[in-house]
């Protein structure tokens, strides 16, 4: 286990170095923006995975935390706050929202919990759209630079993945997995289901809120209720499932796959890409619940069995 943890940390450090040096090689702003989109989705999918993948709570209101983080950060930042302070306030606002809804929401289970969290995000979407209908503009547009935004998203993605790794490999992470597998059995062994689900929700909300704050810093102008759209829930959830929910690498693989394939499909089939992704998601859930990570593991085991069988086959004997 310790060896696997050291390998994971080494891979994370290698990814940080490669992505940190990427702007030295990539000069097109469009390519940097595409990397920013990937990093944003890595953060969102990984943060959703903490609650949905490791604790087994299908949160359909993840957009509420992304949206509240974006809203608070944007309003404070354009109101004169330093961006770092505004970003921290956005993350704290997401935690407060999660704490307020956590205990009543977790009285619901299964599909009722999912519907309840979806209703929360939709209520905030409509409310913000009615109260703040005008578009928000970046007051510092003259000094806009892309690279600081890129490194902000990179740092946020690395911290989110690293925090998820340490959390799920801790003693508390074992409790989260126990709640996912069978909450009643975990309760009978002294594992508090509410405590573990609430902590997972707070961690998930924190990083979603910070991602929303980074989004507010990246975009020049947008409608403030846009960040409460259901897409900010369903896209990260789809990425986690396609890559492999309940794993560290799954949301990363799913995010890269989603963004790259989506860009290719949009260029070639236009609006029909939504139908293709919807079909892909349904097929993955039905036939490959472990996502691309499971597919890779199956392929790897098959390859090892083939190699082993070749080694054990007797050599053909020549005739006299």
Task: Dump strand ranges (E) for 160-278.
Answer: 221-223
| pLDDT at residue 316 tops 60 | no
| 132 assigned to some structural domain | yes
Q: What is the C-alpha separation between 268 and 261, in angstroms, rounded?
A: 11
Least confident residue range of 196-200, 231-235, 251-255, 263-267: 263-267
- Span 129-147, mean pLDDT? 87
For the chain, the domain total comes to 1
Domain holding 122, by residue range, is: 2-309
- What sign does the dihedral 291-293-294-296 (CA atoms) show? positive
- With pLDDT > 90 as the criterion, what percentage of the chain qualifies? 56
Has residue 186 been placed in a domain? Answer: yes
CATH of the domain at 265: 1.10.3470
CA 114 to CA 106: how far, in whole Å?
10
pLDDT in tens, 94-106: 999 999 988 888 8
More confident of the two residues 141 and 194: 194
pLDDT, one tens digit per residue, over 162-215 is 999 999 889 989 999 999 988 888 888 888 888 999 999 999 999 999 999 999
Answer yes or no: is 314 within a domain: no
Nearest to 74 by CA among 230, 212, 205: 212
Percentage of the chain lying above the pLDDT 70 cut: 95
**At residue 317, does pLDDT exceed 60?**
no
Q: How far is CA 186 from CA 43, 103, 174, 215, in A?
A: 29, 18, 10, 38
Within a domain: 104: yes
235 found inside a domain = yes
CB 212 within 8 A of CB 90: yes
């Amino acid at each position: 286990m310790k060896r696997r943890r050291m390998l994971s940390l080494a891979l994370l450090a290698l990814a940080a170095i490669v992505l940190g040096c990427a702007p030295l090689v990539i000069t097109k702003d469009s390519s940097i923006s595409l990397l920013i989109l990937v990093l944003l989705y890595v953060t969102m999918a990984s943060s959703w995975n903490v609650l949905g993948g490791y604790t087994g709570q299908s949160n359909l209101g993840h957009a509420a935390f992304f949206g509240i983080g974006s809203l608070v950060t944007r309003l404070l930042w354009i109101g004169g706050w330093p961006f770092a302070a505004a970003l921290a306030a956005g993350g704290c606002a997401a935690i407060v929202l999660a704490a307020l809804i956590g205990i009543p929401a977790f009285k619901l289970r299964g599909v009722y919990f999912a519907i309840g969290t979806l209703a929360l995000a939709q209520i905030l979407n409509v409310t913000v759209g009615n109260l703040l209908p005008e578009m928000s503009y970046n007051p510092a547009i003259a000094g806009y630079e892309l690279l600081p935004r890129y490194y902000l998203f990179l740092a946020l993605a690395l911290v989110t993945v690293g925090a998820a790794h340490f959390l799920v490999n801790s003693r508390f992470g074992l409790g989260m997995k126990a709640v996912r597998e069978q909450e009643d059995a975990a309760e009978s062994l002294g594992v508090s289901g509410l405590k573990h689900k609430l902590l997972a929700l707070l961690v998930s909300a924190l990083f979603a809120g910070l991602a929303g704050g980074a989004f507010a810093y990246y975009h020049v102008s947008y409608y403030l209720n846009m960040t409460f759209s259901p897409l900010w829930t369903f896209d990260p959830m789809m990425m986690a499932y396609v890559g492999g929910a309940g794993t560290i690498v799954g949301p990363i693989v799913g995010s890269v796959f989603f963004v790259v394939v989506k860009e290719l499909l949009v260029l070639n089939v236009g609006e029909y890409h939504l139908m293709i992704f919807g079909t892909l998601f349904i097929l993955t859930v039905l036939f490959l619940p472990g996502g691309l990570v499971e597919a890779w593991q199956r392929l790897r085991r098959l390859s090892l069995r083939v190699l082993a069988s070749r080694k054990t086959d007797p050599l053909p004997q020549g005739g006299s």
